[in-house]
Chains A and B, each alone.
Chain A
Amino acid sequence: MAVTPRTVDLGVDLGFLKLRNPVLTASGTFGYGLEFEPYLDLARLGGIVVKGLYYGPREGNPPPRLVETASGLINAIGLQGVGVEAFARKALPKLRKIDTAVIVNVCGADDDEYARVVEFLDRQEGIDAYELNISCPNVKKEGACPALSPRTTYDLVKRIKAQSRRPVITKLSPNVTSIVEIAQAAEEAGADAVALVNTFLAMAVDLETRRPKLGNVYGGLSGPAIKPIALRMVHQVASRLKVPVIGMGGIMIGTDALEFLIAGAAAVEVGTASFVDPDAAVRIVAGIERWCLDHMVAAVREVIGTLKTS
């Protein structure tokens, strides 16, 4: 007779980084982490992916920056942020003291800026990995970004891998014909993992004014509305890559996260859910744990990539 496990081993191993549990907070949805201290114990997270950093402070897009749509949210923030120096001075010393993985999302207006950001951050302590943000749809015209082509993805990842002293996770855009091709380009260039998906290029129209509802015209759609498509993409990529896949897109509760793990993600990121409930990420950890207990799963890593397709 099977014995019901009393505890669940929630740890996952990305190869280059061991996580307490598979739940990370997605960049751009969790500030620099510290904003959430009043709402949850940051040490209960698998890790924090901090808001995307350019080298210098960045202005961001004119408002309106947000519009809510059916079970989703379109944002066009434009990566407003403090820059690497202010991050290293103000946020990083506090983040370093928290017992959780810290992953910094790295941005750049061009390849040189990505390189400069990594060069600066390489001199700082308390960072576990970089997440190369080659896929933000809100900073250039019509969502242009390096992740839209295998060539630009390969070149940038190759360059950053050559110089970085830390593991590099490449965050991919869903706004492509074949996300598998882009993921393979990142893997060939040496990416230690891929994270997908970033938001879907989207828009909303105000009928009364006949104007776009976003100051930037287009924005990125996130939330439960995108989950089925994100899940399909994660499954496609995870089926073909050797490096770990970090899955995200509309994860609101523990069972959403488990779907991604079963589809092949080695870990997940929680984004928009943290806007609705600042403690969503730890509630999702608890949800995963509860599901594992109910299903007599002793270690969550046992479910990764166990999707049955025949």
Chain B
Amino acid sequence: MPIERHACLSDVQIWGDHFHFVIEAPEMGRAARPGQFVMVKVADGGFPLLRRPLGIHNANEAGLELFFKIAGQGTEILSRKKRGDRIDLIGPLGKGFTVPAEAKGKTAYLVGGGRGIAPLYFLARELQEAGLRPLVLYGGRCLTDIPLRERFEAAGIDVLCSTDDGSFGFAGLVTELAAIEIGREKPAMIYACGPDPMMKALAAVAAESGVPSEFSLESVMGCGVGACWGCVHRVKNEAGDGWVKICEEGPVFPGERILWR
């Protein structure tokens, strides 16, 4: 049963308005794939009413890890949870990233903007195990926006950072950094998660350089299980194009399928 109503929040780490949760949920941990998400209940009693979709930051035999930034009322309430508290989750949900078999030994770029970095840690670990070299390009507005840098480095994952204000790493947008890096070494694959404008710009760079890409899309979700049809994005399909449910067909889509706004 993919519902865990009383999972134990076994550890919490905080950087300003960014939060890292370690959750004991062995069944979900074993089932989870990089790029999948969980629907987290933030409050009982009807307000906020809906669960919040959060990308799985890491998973193993013991359970799941989540990484999120306070983005509104729901995540603010969620952030008040303490070590030992119970947490109500549904998941793992959706379709995650794919690792091309022929890419072994090659480099993959993982481009994360702000809180969009969350699922890329799990993916980077998976790529390492599959024999690829993940290079993480991690962008934020300023230094405090990129708190996970050291966590990637501690796992032996190369990270290049960018900040809009130049307070750390490359001064500029992470998509500009990605374009430079692609010019330097063309990767076997580009994966990305972040704000839509960032991913749209990156999709253009990927398409131009002929590198296959996958993007994890974000949306408000009503249910996360394909029932409400609330989280749609426009993609190409057999019939031309149309709205598809991010929760069910995604959240990860191949770059060439996505029609950006």
The stretch among B170-178, B181-189, B221-229 that forms the contact with chain A is B221-229
B2–A38 touching, CB < 8 Å:
yes
The residue in chain A whose Cβ has the minimal distance to the Cβ of B246 is: A63
> Does A272 make an interface contact (CB < 8 A)?
yes
> Does B201 make an interface contact (CB < 8 A)?
no
Please count how many residues in chain A sit with their CB below 8 Å of the partner chain's CB atoms.
Answer: 35
A29–B50 touching, CB < 8 Å:
no
Q: Which of A45-96 contact B (CB under 8 A)?
A: 59-60, 62-68, 70-73, 75, 77, 80-81
Please count how many residues in chain B sit with their CB below 8 Å of the partner chain's CB atoms.
Answer: 27
> Does B95 make an interface contact (CB < 8 A)?
no
A62 proximity list for chain B (CB < 8 A): 243
A35 proximity list for chain B (CB < 8 A): 225-227
A70 proximity list for chain B (CB < 8 A): 47
B220–A66 touching, CB < 8 Å:
yes
> Does A39 make an interface contact (CB < 8 A)?
yes
A274 proximity list for chain B (CB < 8 A): 223, 227
Q: Which of A72-131 contact B (CB under 8 A)?
A: 72-73, 75, 77, 80-81
A36–B220 touching, CB < 8 Å:
no
With contacts A59-B243, A71-B49 taken as known, whether A31 is within 8 angstroms of B226 at the C-beta atoms is yes
B2–A80 touching, CB < 8 Å:
no
Given contacts A62-B243, A63-B231, A75-B230, 13 further A-B contacts (CB under 8 A): A35-B226, A63-B230, A65-B231, A66-B220, A66-B231, A67-B220, A68-B48, A70-B47, A223-B46, A223-B49, A224-B46, A224-B49, A279-B3
Query: Measuring CB to CB, which residues of chain A are less than 8 angstroms from any residue of chain B?
Result: 28-31, 35-36, 38-39, 59-60, 62-68, 70-73, 75, 77, 80-81, 223-224, 252, 272, 274-279
Query: Measuring CB to CB, which residues of chain B are less than 8 angstroms from any residue of chain A?
Result: 1-3, 41, 46-51, 90, 219-223, 225-233, 242-243
Which are the 3 A-B pairs with shortest beta-carbon distances? A66-B230, A275-B223, A31-B227
